[in-house]
Chains A and B, each alone.
Chain A
């Protein structure tokens, strides 16, 4: 319906094809069709009710007029009752002055039931109908045709000029007329109303279809805009017409934010792949160039020895980088904390890591202080818990001043475990701080490359913490030191 009405999607024939292909398989319902159908149904029901009421009213009005006419004619019959001038002192209906429609029937009787006068086209109703009853309207059927009749008891004063005021003569008049013409008028009215209603329905249907197609135009524009989005072109700007519509605005805004989020994560992913390729190729280039440099000219055994050691160190760095990339990929691919996961004790983890780095710390004249007495369990694999703590502690040791102290603490705060790694050292500059969790980001090229960082350490920490539903943040002051705070949900040991 939408496509028929507007001939839409002309701007994107591809999507229209897809759409029609889908239409073939699935019977689609249309809001437009449903709305028009509903409105027309309501309108038909209303038309029937109104027509019925109007018809009833018309019928009543017509019959009231008819009854008044009947009474008038009956009265004129009454007026035509005269002294018959016969010895029986009877009355008669003087037909000479009566001008009545030929189809009408009448009968006049005196109280004794004697027929005073009668229309020639009628042989009279049964007596029961005429005499004992009150005045009133009754329906008859004469010669197969419906008649409506009035019964009127009247008193005709004959010779009012005589002495004593004349002789009052009570008579009963029954006057009937065919109702066919009334019904004809009522039917004509009914036909008129029906015709008007049908016309109204047609106009309403057409106008509604046109109006709906017009007001659904923003939806089509929105769809066309959305169909233009692809992996290579994420630009999605909700059309003004869609934003101006109260009903469409939430959809347009939601679409826009979804596209933006998708684009961001897609770009992030793409950048990660690009960065990873760059890092790996650079790593290979280092190893290859080291070997080629060594082979460029004859060298002394000592030079070869030193060169080979450098090559081995280069290979070790490559190995570390590949390992870290795979770790990151594994954490990224893992499910959200699974119920089957065995919780790890982060305090135990800290003590283990502190042990592990004690030699390195003493070489750099850094003292590691562990503040984690009670066992605190978090929903992270033991291996990753170790990785998280060791990455943070290693960073702290590497960026500490000599003779300073690295404090690693873990305490429970409500339903959270708060892990803090604090160092006194060169810190991180404000310009670099917002980027420290970015993959392959290095604060300062010359420094971090020389310390062998891959730029993935903190990114791995963030991935682990995110996976466990926690948070990680870094506070740092240049030349004062850095505090990394990790918050993780506390769980019961299994």
Chain B
């Protein structure tokens, strides 16, 4: 999962980014003003946007309205500090999905961001299960047929992204865009290596394959075990 933080207070965005990377295993990009934030958000690589309201150049409210006007459905979490010109009601009505008042609890911010991403992808519970595959996004643990599978952070992130979209073919490019932040070198064969390792680890505990490779199109979790591809 990849999250965009638009916040002009560098120390605060560093802290949030650190917490999201360490605590949730997300890829995080930071923008220091509304214009950069709006530009980054328009790429649609993000699974959630954390938006401060009082920003230089372009206000958070304007960034939000621009995103929604362009048809961007990415969940948006607003950071407010009461006393701003826009009320919470106005913000929610303009298309914000959730808000937190400063000073907030970092744990709560992570939990709410996770919930927003989950909801945005159609899941209600932090435990996701597809066939005999089970992913607990809170503990970041994976079970295959009841047995714990030990994954590297990157492998876990790929599986987490795939399990949020169980019937969809996910391209390598999409995985790259949603799992790495801007500071990462983009090489699609990195993804191939990680997926290969992930498949090996998952299938070691079962006789059925877990991830299908669709040549030239991407990857897909195998949901229906009776008719493997």
Residues of A within 8 A of B (CB): 273-278, 280-282, 284-290, 292-293, 296-297, 310, 314, 442, 444-446, 449-450
Contact = CB atoms under 8 A, between A and B. Distances in A.
A293 B106 contact: yes
A269 B57 CA distance: 21
A314 B104 CA distance: 16
Given A296-B106, A446-B10, A277 B19 contact: no
A274 B8 contact: no
A445 B103 contact: no
Interface centre among B101, B102, B106 (most CB of A within 10 A): B102
Interface stretch (B78-86, B149-157, B200-208, B210-218): B78-86
Contacts of A278: 53-54, 81, 83-84, 102
B32 A445 contact: yes
Interface string B41-71: 0000000000011111100000000000000
Nearest to A440: B54
23 contacts: A277-B81, A277-B83, A278-B83, A278-B84, A280-B81, A281-B102, A282-B12, A282-B81, A284-B102, A284-B103, A285-B12, A286-B12, A288-B105, A292-B15, A292-B105, A292-B107, A293-B18, A293-B106, A297-B22, A314-B11, A442-B8, A445-B32, A445-B55
User: Lowest 7 CB-CB distances: which A-B pairs, in order?
Assistant: A277-B83, A285-B103, A281-B81, A281-B102, A292-B106, A289-B15, A284-B103
A93 B33 CA distance: 132
Contacts of A289: 12, 15-16, 19, 103-104, 106
B33 A445 contact: yes
A314 B11 CA distance: 8
Interface in B64-112: 79, 81-85, 101-107
A413 B205 CA distance: 89
B9 interface: yes
A449 B19 contact: no
Interface-central residue, A296, A314, A442, by most chain B CB under 10 Å: A296
A296 B110 CA distance: 11
A289 B56 CA distance: 22
Contact of B106 (A276, A288, A314, A450): A288
B196 to A, nearest CB: 29
Contacts of A310: 11
B15 A282 contact: no
B23 interface: yes
Which of B15, B54, B105 gathers most chain A CB within 10 Å? B15
Contacts of A297: 22
Interface in B170-211: none
B137 to A, nearest CB: 16
B57 to A, nearest CB: 8
A288 B103 contact: yes
A274 B84 contact: yes
B54 A275 contact: yes
A281 B11 contact: no
A282 B9 contact: yes
Contacts of B57: 445
Nearest to B15: A289
B138 to A, nearest CB: 14
A387 B56 CA distance: 26
A202 B12 CA distance: 82
Residue from the set A280, A284, A286, A442 with the largest chain B CB neighbour count within 10 Å:
A286
Contacts of A314: 11
Nearest to B18: A293
A435 B8 CA distance: 18
A449 B31 CA distance: 13
Contacts of B102: 278, 281-282, 284-285
A278 B82 CA distance: 7
A293 B13 CA distance: 12
B8 A445 contact: yes
Contact of A449 (B9, B53, B82, B106): B9
Nearest to B56: A445
Nearest to A446: B32
A289 B32 CA distance: 18
B11 A444 contact: no
Given A281-B103, A285-B102, A292-B107, 10 more contacts: A276-B83, A277-B82, A278-B102, A286-B15, A292-B19, A293-B22, A296-B106, A297-B22, A442-B8, A449-B32
Contacts of B104: 285, 288-289
Nearest to A313: B11
Contact of B10 (A281, A293, A449): A449
A314 to B, nearest CB: 6
Contacts of B32: 445-446, 449
B21 to A, nearest CB: 10
Q: Which of B16, B55, B57, B106 has the most CB of A within 10 A?
A: B106
A297 B18 CA distance: 12
A297 to B, nearest CB: 6
B15 A290 contact: yes
A450 B30 CA distance: 14
Interface string B1-45: 000000011111001101100110000000011000000000000
Contacts of B54: 275, 278
Contacts of B16: 289
B9 to A, nearest CB: 5
Nearest to A295: B106
A77 B113 CA distance: 134
Contacts of A450: 10
Contact of A444 (B53, B56, B101, B105): B56
A63 B81 CA distance: 100
A271 B12 CA distance: 22
- Specify which of A273, A288, A290, A445 lies most central, judged by the most chain B CB atoms within 10 Å of its CB: A445
Contacts of A276: 83
Given A281-B102, A445-B33, A286 B9 contact: yes
A449 B33 CA distance: 11
Nearest to B109: A289
